[in-house]
Copies of this chain bind each other. A is one copy, B any other.
Amino acid sequence: MTEFPHTINIDVFPMSGYDIGEKEPILKKDTSKSQRVIRLAKKFEIEGIRRSVEAILVVHKHNFPHILIFSDTEKNYFLPGGRLRKDEDEVEGLKRKLQTKLHPDLLQHDQIEWEVSEQIAVWWRPNFEDTVFPYIPPHITKPKEVITQYLVQLPKTCSLSVPENYQMLAIPFFEFYDNAHRWGSRLESLPRNLSRIKFNLKD
């Protein structure tokens, strides 16, 4: 029998228990990369470092844990999450983001208790570009963004609503690993960053 040395255990449930619907689209704020850089640079001057949060939601399919990610119409892949407001707490802000990006209409569905658990990784963006690092690189005194990833425990079953211009995908751990070219460094790193967690696959 395989002995597990992990100190942290998380229950994960079958993908089939989640009912995936649609909700209003999430519109992009920028029409080009350069417009985005200009907007972020202006904001940085006023507000300082941008703080973002991302949720790692794990389910299982075919007896293997999978991570729920979004893809947009340009085939970008990313975790549910977003930017925090000024002085907003990370955990509260992440719950707010999950509410806007994944929660169905409250008139027809009960409120999901988003259970934000372990902090998994922290990534730093040294300038207004795509590249991020899991540390503040030497000689960078003013990183432009810090992105914190949290494991979020889903209830056994619930309804989720995906913005209609996004797709939700469930990707097995082994697809991410060692494939930064496809997924980008944050998604690619998830299997290593989650290796200290034992996922109990429940029925």
Contacts and interface: CB of A to CB of B under 8 A. Distances in A.
Nearest to A48: B1
Nearest to A49: B2
Given A123-B195, A174-B135, A195-B135, A143 B2 contact: yes
Identical copies of this chain, number: 2
Given A5-B90, A51-B5, A135-B191, A119 B196 contact: yes
A92 to B, nearest CB: 13
Interface residues of A, number: 42
Interface of A: 1-8, 48-49, 51, 64-65, 90, 119-123, 133-138, 142-143, 146, 148, 172-174, 177-178, 185, 189, 191-196
